[in-house]
Amino acid sequence: MKIIKDKKVVNDAWQVLRLHEGDAADSIVVPQGEYIVPLPVWNCQWETLRERKELGLWLGGLERAEDIPDDVNRFPVIAIDIHKYTDGRAYTLAYRLRKQYGYRCELRAMGDVLHDQLFYLKRMGFDSFAMRADQDLQRGVSGFDTFSVKYQASVDVATPLFNRIERGVA
Amino acid sequence: MYQYDKFDHQLTAERVAQYSDQVRRRLSGELKEDDFRVLRLQNGIYMQVHGYMMRIAIPYGLASSAQVHQLAHIARTYDRGYGHLSTRQNIQFNWLKLEDTPKILADLAEVEMHANQTSGSCIRSITSDELAGVARDELIDPRPFAEILRQWSTFHPEFAFLPRKFKVSVSGASEDRAAIEINDVGVQVVKNAQGELGFRILVGGGLGRTPVIGQELIAFLPWQHLLTYMESIVRVYNEFGRRDNLYKARIKILVQAIGIGEFRRQVETEWQLHKDGPSTLTEAEVARVSAAFTAPAYETLPQVDASFEAAQREDKAFANWVQRNVTAHKVDGYAAAWLSLKHPGRAPGDISADQLDVVAALADHYSFGELRVSHLQNLVLADVKQSDLHALWQEAKAAGLATPNIGLLTDIVCCPGADFCTLANARSISLSRAITERFEDYDYLHDIGDIDLNISGCVNACGHHHVAHIGILGVDKSGEEWYQVTIGGNKGTPAAIGKIIGRSFSFAQIPAVIARLLHVYVSERDEGERFIDTLRRIGHEPFKTFVYAEQIVEEEKLLLPDYEALRAAVPYELPYFSPRF
């Protein structure tokens, strides 16, 4: 599958494990290989899964950073599933992972990820993007540079504009 | 006022480019409406009854004459020659084509204006006191902090998709003219016992379906922490505000659900994580922004101007206008003058392109080139010499802007209603016209005196009917428009939510209902009592009893007219009809 990572369109090998109807978090088999598993599966099968260094984790809209029982940096990738682009919880969740929990590895936005939200998502510390199927990835790459001015601090810049740059007397 | 530096200009230009590209993709079909809707809303674009409506930000209600001339240009070029001032100090144009909206945004950028976040589930355009900087009861001018909040909230990456809209208002005075108690967050400038500057923060106020007065979150927040504390409030809201039900998504519902104490605890916990961090405000930044709001070059004048006094004695009409439309100023010899946009025959808050040009010229001539929009949908020239008031009045009168009715019954606050708005259940503007016509007798209006009458066309309560002395709410009953009446609300300090008096009324009954309410007031009032004072003293019951005592005959001329005929006969300047009725 193609995704945007570090502002480039790349092939990505991660598989996302989803619980479908009839699947139970405690009994579903996580296949061998690079899988991004949902938090409930991780929590239920923690004792066995923790041996597998290659697994990633994904969080849904209602899940929170503090629900992760381990050091977040043990995951090479954490994905946040955006079920609808208007649901802004993913942005604060990203803030918490990056700023509060010190997550340093790949933070991925997946689901209803659209061109016009990439700038904000990138500011919140997302660095890879599994976009909605109808989105033009090549075009998406240009979406990171919509604005060159950032008034406020966030994950990408630690200080607000007024503390970053000498602004003239207005 | 605040002037853009190169960063503000750059960001505004980038916004125009971004939005232009989005509209191009929408028009080509590349962008579907469901993905575009939120993008256009965050640029103030609604799809309304007649076409696209654009809400342009007038941050904290302050505009320069050049900006107002540009609004006139926009009204003429892209609209039908007029705009509408909203209850959040913004201006709306109702008859736009989508393909023109990027050009409008570019025109606005030329005069340091925008439509950023005037709609959508984000931090909205910041409002403030229309008398900021000139009010006698002001502790300090709140506008530098409003501007600092404007910049902080503009394109805040974390808070673009909140559960629901988020409104912030800032006041620096003891009398609240900025409706801080009915905003999601109200910021009041205060000083502590040591004389240090800070803010009292209210949270969870709002009208709509569930009217609530905001509660105090913190009694004194040192000014340095304004942004980090705000960030904590919005972060907690973004995480825990409800997203399953549109009507329960505002922060007030969250605060009610967990209680102010628990909400405060969560905000404080969150705040401790980044308090004193890099977003802490600095004296240098406050000084930089405050430098834009220094007092203009006032002349040294006597406290009272003799010619002004004489003109009032000689000219009764001028004296009437002064009595209602002129307010004291903190500087001797100056006054603040209200230009009423509640002129009989026009929708409350509507202003034509020609009038926009006139008020811009008046601002240049009489008030240091600036004017303000009040949340009660009038304009204020805040720095007028008393000796200029008579000349100003004459010019304003010639432009239909000198109706001497500020604070009177006909100074109706009114949302666009079903004549324009797709959300509304009932017409507001048409009803305000019917009321204005019924109560046009000037002496009677003066005798009734101070009274707030507000109309909202639906529960979203854009007309702020809950906090009016008499509030009228349009409701839908099996597809018909009806009106619920509340009395006893108050917008000032302290704010209060009105109570519904009983079953609802038809459009044509409302003027008679108001007449009955006023009748009770006139018969029961003590010397010097306002309507609201009498109501508080004697209670709601006498008003209710009298209103429902006898059958209310519908006023025949107010029964729904032949709209087809009206549409043919009435020019578009008087859009008191809608395709929906």
pLDDT at A91 over 80: yes
Is B557 in the same domain as B440? yes
Taking the CA of residue B355 and the nearest CA in chain A, the distance in Å comes to 30
Where residue B553 falls among pLDDT bands split at 50, 70, 90? confident
Cβ contact B238–A85 (<8 Å): no
Q: Using the 3D structure, point to which of B398, B426, B441 is the last residue of a domain.
A: B398
Residue A67 one-letter amino acid: D
The C-alpha atoms of residue B71 and residue B74 are separated, in whole angstroms, by 5
Task: State phi, psi for A83 to the nearest 5 degrees.
Answer: -75, -25
Is B87 in the same domain as B147? no
pLDDT at B442 over 50: yes
Is B247 in the same domain as B312? no
What pLDDT is recorded for position B572? 41
With contacts defined as CB-CB under 8 Å, which chain B residues touch A116?
22, 35, 39
Q: Which two tokens stand for residue B280?
A: 């802490």
Is B105 in the same domain as B138? no
Segment A144-169, tens digit of pLDDT: 999 999 999 999 999 999 999 888 65
Tell me how many degrees the CA angle B182-B187-B193 measures, rounded to the nearest 5: 130
Segment B563-572, tens digit of pLDDT: 555 445 444 4
Cross-chain CB nearest to A120 (options B152, B160, B289): B160
Is B361 in the same domain as B231? no
Nearest to B112 by CA among B11, B20, B23: B11
Q: Which two tokens stand for residue B21?
A: 């590209």
Detail the DSSP E strand segments found in B315-398: 326-328, 334-339, 350-352, 370-373, 379-385
Cβ contact B282–A91 (<8 Å): no
Report cis status (omega within 30 of 0) of the bond before B404.
no
With contacts defined as CB-CB under 8 Å, which chain B residues touch A100?
273
What pLDDT is recorded for position B114? 98
Mean pLDDT over B130-149 rounds to: 97
Total domains present in chain B: 4
Say whether B343 sits in a helix, a strand or coil.
Answer: coil
Sorted by sequence, the CB contacts under 8 Å of residue B1 that are 6+ apart come out as B62, B64, B292, B293, B370
Give the whole-number percent of chain B exceeding pLDDT 90: 86
| DSSP code per residue over B185-214 | EEEEEEE-TT--EEEEEEES-B-TTS-B--
Is B169 in the same domain as B83? no
Taking the CA of residue A114 and the nearest CA in chain B, the distance in Å comes to 8
Mean pLDDT over B510-534 rounds to: 96
CATH number, residue B233: 3.30.413.10
| Residue B2 contacts A where some CB pair is shorter than 8 Å | yes
Q: Has residue B454 been placed in a domain?
A: yes
| Residue B504 contacts A where some CB pair is shorter than 8 Å | no
Residue in A closest to B18 by C-alpha: A146
pLDDT at B579 over 60: no
CATH number, residue B86: 3.90.480.20
Residue in B closest to A167 by C-alpha: B5
Is B233 in the same domain as B343? no
Q: Has residue B118 been placed in a domain?
A: no
pLDDT at B558 over 80: no
In terms of average pLDDT, the best of A84-88, B420-424, B555-559 is: A84-88
Q: Range with the lowest mean pLDDT among A105-119, A129-143, B375-389? A: A129-143
Where residue B280 falls among pLDDT bands split at 50, 70, 90? very high
With contacts defined as CB-CB under 8 Å, which chain B residues touch A152?
151-152, 156-157, 227, 279
| DSSP code per residue over A34-82 | SEEEEHHHHHHSHHHHTT-TT-EEEE-TT--GGG--S-GGG-SEEEEEE
Q: Has residue B408 been placed in a domain?
A: no
Segment B533-551, tens digit of pLDDT: 999 999 999 999 999 998 8
B6-28 vs B33-41: helix crossing angle, rounded to 10 = 160
Q: Has residue B403 been placed in a domain?
A: no
Q: Using the 3D structure, point to which of B290, B314, B338 is the last residue of a domain.
A: B290
The C-alpha atoms of residue B480 and residue A17 are separated, in whole angstroms, by 52
The burial of A11, by beta-carbon neighbours within 10 Å (0-12 exposed, 13-18 middle, 19 or more buried), is given as exposed
Cβ contact B235–A92 (<8 Å): yes
H or E element: which one contains B315? Answer: none
Residue in B closest to A64 by C-alpha: B239
Mean pLDDT over B271-280 rounds to: 97
The CA–CA distances, whole Å, from B349 to B113, B274, B307, B352 equal 20, 43, 32, 10
What pLDDT is recorded for position B301? 97
For chain A, the residues whose C-beta falls within 8 A of a C-beta of chain B are 61, 64, 85-89, 91-93, 95, 99-100, 114, 116-117, 119-121, 123-124, 146-154, 158-163, 165, 167-170
pLDDT at B580 over 50: no
Is B84 in the same domain as B201? no
Q: Has residue B240 been placed in a domain?
A: yes
- Mean pLDDT in chain B? 93
Give the structural domain span for B51.
6-110
Q: Using the 3D structure, point to which of B398, B427, B444 is the last residue of a domain.
A: B398
Is B206 in the same domain as B142? yes
Q: Which two tokens stand for residue B519?
A: 């009748």
Token match 């060159």: residue?
A: A148
Is B278 in the same domain as B342? no
Q: Has residue B405 been placed in a domain?
A: no
The CA–CA distances, whole Å, from B117 to A5, B39, B163, B175 equal 29, 10, 14, 28
Cross-chain CB nearest to B239 (options A89, A114, A123): A89
Q: Which CATH number fits domain A2-164: 3.20.20, 2.60.40, 3.40.630, 3.40.1710?
A: 3.20.20
Residue with the larger pLDDT of the pair B370 and B48: B370
Segment B469-495, tens digit of pLDDT: 999 999 999 888 999 999 999 998 889
Sorted by sequence, the CB contacts under 8 Å of residue B538 that are 6+ apart come out as B524
Segment A12-48, tens digit of pLDDT: 999 999 999 999 999 999 999 999 999 999 999 999 9
Q: Which two tokens stand for residue B91?
A: 């201006």
Is B286 in the same domain as B139? yes
What pLDDT is recorded for position B564? 52
Detail the DSSP E strand segments found in B153-296: 168-171, 185-191, 197-203, 215-222
Cβ contact B11–A149 (<8 Å): yes
pLDDT at B386 over 70: yes
Q: Which two tokens stand for residue B340?
A: 């009423």
Domain spans, chain A: 2-164
Q: Has residue B120 been placed in a domain?
A: no
Segment B300-336, tens digit of pLDDT: 999 999 999 999 999 999 999 999 999 999 999 999 9
Segment B81-102, tens digit of pLDDT: 999 999 899 999 988 999 999 9
Residue with the larger pLDDT of the pair B564 and B40: B40
Where residue B578 falls among pLDDT bands split at 50, 70, 90? very low
Cβ contact B161–A170 (<8 Å): no
Neighbours of B66 (CB within 10 A): 15
What pLDDT is recorded for position B554? 77
Select from B33, B143, B279, B286 the residue whose CB has the most chain A CBs within 10 Å, as the one to mutate to test that interface: B279
Half-sphere exposure of A25 (CA within 13 A, CB side): 10
The CA–CA distances, whole Å, from B517 to A115, A120, B432 equal 56, 53, 16
Sorted by sequence, the CB contacts under 8 Å of residue B330 that are 6+ apart come out as B134, B135, B136, B138
Give the whole-number percent of chain A exceeding pLDDT 70: 98
Segment B180-233, tens digit of pLDDT: 999 999 999 999 999 999 999 999 999 988 899 999 999 999 999 999 999 999
- What is the pairing mode between strands B91-96 and B453-456? unpaired
Is B478 in the same domain as B560? yes
Contact A58, A37 (CB under 8 A): yes
Give the whole-number percent of chain B exceeding pLDDT 70: 95
